[in-house]
């Protein structure tokens, strides 16, 4: 049993499908044939009994109509009647009360012989003589002048021949059905599993060459079609994530290389002259610490952006109180930048966004506005409760962003002026993080800028009031 199970497990799906379909059809056809043969056999044997019973009844009625006295003439007339009504192959015996045979009627010689038996009423039994199946019918003949018995032997040759023919025909049809079903199942299974084979081939190509291979969409949407659609979506998503990961690694490596080179250069400077020159030592240590702090911030931003890249469920999210978050965030930023003027105007409103994420987005935008605008200029933050969204604006009055740079402003590690941004501690990840966080909540963000004025606008989906 274990060997069969092991052998079955090694077969391909196509062969499993063919064998399963063939076995199912074979068993169903066999069961149907057996039921049909049994039913037809019962019906045919009943017809044979009815034929025998009719002859017995006719002879019995003939003699009963001559009661109360049956004469020799009646017996002779009964013989003539029997010769007229008995069926082909039947053998009729007429016995007296002592079991002596008065006459026998048969059309051809036979070796069917059964022992004499007295009966009190008409009876029909089935038996076998010399390997042949027969019916034996007996009925008594009683009158004042004569008592005897009629016995009819009814061979079942026609019944046996028909039954054997049905069995033979069923076997032939069963073999034909098995061969046809196996062939049809093999051909159809190849058609059915063709998309699965293509799916496997595409997966193998994907493993060897990358995520660009996809399957053609099926004409009819079924279970396999749904699987292909899921596979294509998965490949598309994997390709996007792979590209993001590759870009992320390249950008992170590029951004890390500069501070590492700076630190390495100053450590070499310390090793050569800094041990004896306190000014060189102090300057090199200060610069190295600055670069380390910048790398720490870069790593923190990278981790934040990585967490923002993960999808999150927002179905059960509690709406955020935008005006409260705006006020708290501005107060925090004002305490950090006491020399800067932060002006806020916030209307009351609720929006579908995590409170922590909204605060983080606001910190990024306000820090950028402070960083890239003169110290004597204020930063204006406003919150407006619109009919279909909650609008937040962060405005600064710095030098602005050139138009050619605006399409790339949310890209990772993108900086308008790389040298100036590096001096200010920027790594080009802030706006990317803000954009990604807002995308999680299907919120919109856009930037309008001209020399001396930059406005970043956010539209948050408002919560439905109960």
Report which of residues 310 and 299 the model is more confident about.
299
Residue 211 confidence (pLDDT): 56
The mean pLDDT of 10-18, rounded to a whole number, is: 72
CB atoms inside a 10 Å sphere around CB 119: 13
Task: Say what the pLDDT of residue 254 is.
Answer: 62
> What CA–CA distance (Å, rounded) separates 202 from 68?
99
Q: Give tens-digit pLDDT for 44-80.
A: 999 988 988 888 888 777 776 765 656 566 666 677 7
Percent of the chain with pLDDT strictly greater than 90? 18
pLDDT for the residue numbered 144: 64
The pLDDT assigned to 220 comes to: 57
Fold category of 4-177 in CATH: Beta-Lactamase (3.30.450)
Span(s) in the chain for CATH 3.30.450.20: 4-177
> Which CATH number among 1.10.287.130, 2.40.10.10, 1.10.260.40, 3.30.2310.20 corresponds to the domain 196-310?
1.10.287.130
Residue 340 has pLDDT above 80, yes or no: yes
Helix (H), strand (E) at residue 5: helix 2-10
Q: How confident is the model at residue 293 (pLDDT cuts 50, 70, 90)?
A: confident
pLDDT tens for residues 243-262? 767 766 766 676 677 678 77
What is the DSSP code string of 107-166? SS-----------SS-EEEEEEETTEEEEEEEEEEE-SS-EEEEEEEEE-HHHHHHHHHH
pLDDT band at 466 (very low <50, low <70, confident <90, very high): very low
Give the mean pLDDT of the chain: 79
The architecture CATH gives domain 315-461: 2-Layer Sandwich (3.30)
Residue 421 has pLDDT above 50, yes or no: no
The per-residue pLDDT for range 423-457, each reduced to its tens digit, is: 454 556 778 878 888 888 889 999 998 888 999 99
pTM score of the predicted model:
0.46
pLDDT tens-digit readout, 315-329: 556 788 999 999 999
The CATH 1.10.287.130 portion of the chain extends over: 196-310
User: Helix 194-209 vs helix 223-269: angle between axes, to the nearest 10 degrees?
Assistant: 10
Write the DSSP string, 34-78. HHHHHHHHHHHHHHHHHHHHHHHHHHHHHHHTTTT---HHHHHHH
What residue spans in the chain does CATH classification 3.30.565.10 cover?
315-461
């Amino acid at each position: 049993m274990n060997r069969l199970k092991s052998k079955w497990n090694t077969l391909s799906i196509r062969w499993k499908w063919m064998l399963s379909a063939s076995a199912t059809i074979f068993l169903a056809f066999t069961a149907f044939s057996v039921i049909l043969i049994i039913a037809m056999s019962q019906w045919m044997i009943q017809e044979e009994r009815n034929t025998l019973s009719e002859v017995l009844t006719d002879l019995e009625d003939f003699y009963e109509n001559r009661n109360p006295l049956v004469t020799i003439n009646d017996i002779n007339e009964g013989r003539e009647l029997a010769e007229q009504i008995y069926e082909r192959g039947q053998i009729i015996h007429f016995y007296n009360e002592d079991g002596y045979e008065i006459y026998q009627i048969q059309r051809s010689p036979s070796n069917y012989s059964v022992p004499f038996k007295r009966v009190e009423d008409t009876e029909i039994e089935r038996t076998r003589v010399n390997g042949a199946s027969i019916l034996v019918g007996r009925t008594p003949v009683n009158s004042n002048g004569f008592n005897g018995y009629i016995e009819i032997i009814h061979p079942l040759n026609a019944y046996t021949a028909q039954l054997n023919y049905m069995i033979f025909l069923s076997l032939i049809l069963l073999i034909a059905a098995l061969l046809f079903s196996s062939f049809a199942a093999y051909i159809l299974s190849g058609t059915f599993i063709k998309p699965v084979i293509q799916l496997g081939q595409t997966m193998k190509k994907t493993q060897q060459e990358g995520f660009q291979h996809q399957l053609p969409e099926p004409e009819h949407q079924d279970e396999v079609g749904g699987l292909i659609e899921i596979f294509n979506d998965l490949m598309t998503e994997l390709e996007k994530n792979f590209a993001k990961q590759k870009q992320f690694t390249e950008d992170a490596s590029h951004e890390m290389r500069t501070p590492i080179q700076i630190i390495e250069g100053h450590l070499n400077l310390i090793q050569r002259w800094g041990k004896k020159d306190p000014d060189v030592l102090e300057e090199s240590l200060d610069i190295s610490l600055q670069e380390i702090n910048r790398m720490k911030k870069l790593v923190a931003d990278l981790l934040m952006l990585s967490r923002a890249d993960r999808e999150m469920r927002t179905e059960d999210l509690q709406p955020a109180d935008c005006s409260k978050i705006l006020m708290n965030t501005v107060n925090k930023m004002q305490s950090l930048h006491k020399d800067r003027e932060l002006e806020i105007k916030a209307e009351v409103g609720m929006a579908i966004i995590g409170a922590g994420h909204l605060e983080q987005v606001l910190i990024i935008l306000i820090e950028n506005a402070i960083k890239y605008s003169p110290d004597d200029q204020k930063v204006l933050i406003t919150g407006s409760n619109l009919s279909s969204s909650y609008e937040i604006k962060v405005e600064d009055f710095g030098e602005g962003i050139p138009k050619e740079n605006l399409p790339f402003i949310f890209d990772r590690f993108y900086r308008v002026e790389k040298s100036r941004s590096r001096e200010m501690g920027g790594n080009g990840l802030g706006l990317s993080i803000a954009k990604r966080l807002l995308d999680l909540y299907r919120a919109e963000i856009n930037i309008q800028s001209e020399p001396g004025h930059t406005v970043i606008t956010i539209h948050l989906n408002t919560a439905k009031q109960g």
